[in-house]
Chains A and B, each alone.
Chain A
């Protein structure tokens, strides 16, 4: 869940001459500094190791296992269950989140690779008002049925609209080509996105 596990130090295999490693998780540890002093680069694990990243606008310091994927960290450690596991192989898009503004399959992303990066999940898309223009359009156009795939679609679509305000229907189809929906809401989803693009195009 959301708790961070009890902080543990690095594995024995990490050599860090000259740095005081008595405290837990090296929040003050400068990895580059440590590296320059050693011949062996930093090895994280097999015990839980630190991961610093920004999630939904907040800097987070977590202690995770090196083999965790980003979707596991978001859902199981941070309670952000918007991103779903639909296939766990990057084919269905239900796990889509934004990393540095770009949609990624969080089930095929090692959480450790996210150190220093910015992650945005569906929970943050609405911002302070709770619902973005796109999310409102989804609701008005009935761009959903069972809803399981919708967080992934919302994230992919939101990224497209931010990146390409003049996107065409073909651009939409391409941007959503990694998101699967079994209920058949794709037509309404595309209409919702087109509506938002059209309206934002008008001054």
Chain B
């Protein structure tokens, strides 16, 4: 397994800034392809490694405060119902109960299993549970819809009584439980004339695909500890991927100024998109905290996580692609329906617009409301679903046209980075040899095959995030940022950037993060954390350095502009005088110098580069994955044996952590391909697998060998050049697995997850 990444793109991809695009005086020099960096780009072990391996790391679930109360939530057991009675007398009187908070009242219409009704705070968790069991709540179950097909029946029950109270109202038409169609998004629009395109195409193929609801299944559930403050504010420890979103939601919910809301998240046990915003649990805990004057701990259990912790919506996609005999994609149409439960977000169309140029594209996306927990953004929302369909259609066409699937892609894909990635992948994976060698009957019931798929994501950036860098008079450095580290390793990257910006050893850098008192950091979503924060760190360090230079100048007897910081030393440019960084700091007038920085807008980038198109393509991040599978045709079991993942994340900040990210995306992708699905009872609509036993996620023994390669593309858009990686890494995996099964068995599978049952049924249909 590769532990160091390889630079897959040669010197011609190293770039120099275009003259006239130099940074402003208070901005640092851009790190381009020529930058000599010591820590950035090096495989530096995580700074919080020791806390994590010794159990010293304290997550929200580990916070234990004096006098802390424990809260549980009584929830609706039905997908739909109406509250007829709500008698909580016995709950209030139960031993240990200090407060209850009623969220709904008699007469309320309930819309999903798990919907919170009453929160109970008591002196211990067991007391709270026992008290909750004493509630006399009578709910009349009402007709419900939990499948997309049932929800689309115009005569069936409505999740929302009218469009006026539906989520996402006003932007798209809502008819019954159907919201849509959306014909475009922020980055794409349907265009052209697909009917004409299909008429004129040499090959037209159509298929129907379906993917299930997938739950995030973070190991640490949602939860918060909320403590009332003397100033009328609240202090909150919470498992979140966006501290600032929690501050905002709590301030609004309790009508207190944001300055009186402090949110802490030093360690977060996973997010993957489910943990934005305060969430109902924080608000409920807040109400109980304010009522009792005591800190209140409210943590969801695993069942609650599956029911109402968010999920990736399902999809049902009717997909049609038209091709010219030269192998060019000339037209595509997609009609997708999916359920995000009582919420919205079931779109899948973006990849269809963003991977292969195609003059005629019609995509219609619909949300279908059902009586189930609302979806939440889940690692590249919409993309694994859309790519599962699109990249399958490409392989289908390649098979018909008797073209190698990668050759067909190269006839269409114009993204310069991805084209390069495909070429490298074919060599590294021995693609052509394996396509020829397999499938073969030699191995009895086990057949092997290889498949591939493209990844697409966006270089999303959050501007105006800030950071502070403090250099102390003992030479040590402290970086302050309100960002949260949910596992991507931003804590370490921040230290690496500061160390290189200040030219000091990383051992002297401490990072304080995870606190809303610190400068607002980016939310950890859209794979934007590193790209958003590192330029701010760079700027903050640069400012601190300038302040140091301004009082070093008289000490060294030169002008500030003549001072250079290098390898822990402060020198004059002609090298005639130098002192150590530490010695300089010792002589500072105060106990520290402070530099503050903010992320500014991306620069136009390096225009004379082969990446011009890539930049003009709306900042699209490219990636490719190839997969080798072994299919047990007798027992229907698919084993993924080998994965090659080549991804672009701009400048690789920390190859160790980047490799972990890609592994994570691939593993979630193959788990989505083979094992995961939320299962609801078709009659009562209740969830059947709200646990980690029958909601199956990939385990250690299920994993292939994963080779990760990272391209380095220096775009010069920001002072660090970092781009995102977390989401791109999970987009193509399921599609590649299916394509490999197609190669191995001839069975083209269109439904996830590809369980033994489905494989057996597909093989029997295929007759192979």
Contact = CB atoms under 8 A, between A and B. Distances in A.
Contact of B664 (A86, A141, A185): A185
Given A87-B691, A145-B664, A183-B664, A177 B699 contact: yes
Nearest to A187: B663
A131 B53 contact: yes
Interface stretch (A6-14, A18-26, A30-38, A75-83): A75-83
B218 A89 contact: no
B270 A183 contact: yes
Given A122-B55, A149-B219, A1 B699 contact: no
Contact of A183 (B57, B301, B487): B487
A183 B660 contact: yes
A182 B302 contact: no
Contact of A138 (B49, B217, B218, B703): B49
B55 A151 contact: yes
Contact of B270 (A148, A174, A189): A148
Interface string B45-61: 11011111111111101
Contacts, number: 178
B62 A86 contact: no
A64 B254 CA distance: 38
A142 B219 contact: no
A82 B55 contact: yes
Which among A139, A144, A145, A173 has the greatest number of chain B C-beta atoms within 10 A? A145
Interface in B663-704: 663-668, 691-693, 697, 699-701, 703
A145 B659 CA distance: 11
A62 to B, nearest CB: 15
A87 B692 contact: yes
Given A81-B64, A92-B692, A150-B53, A184 B486 contact: no
A145 B660 contact: yes
A141 B659 CA distance: 10
Contacts of B486: 146
Interface residues of B, number: 59
B277 to A, nearest CB: 19
Contacts of A154: 53, 55
B49 A144 contact: yes
A91 to B, nearest CB: 4
A118 interface: no
A186 interface: yes
A99 interface: no
A144 B668 contact: no
Nearest to B691: A89
Contact of B55 (A123, A146, A179, A185): A123
B700 A177 contact: yes
Contacts of B58: 81
Interface of A: 1, 65, 67, 75-76, 79-89, 91-92, 94, 121-123, 125-126, 130-131, 135, 138-142, 144-151, 154, 172-174, 176-177, 179-191
11 contacts: A80-B55, A82-B54, A85-B61, A140-B45, A142-B656, A145-B664, A146-B218, A147-B267, A176-B700, A186-B667, A187-B1
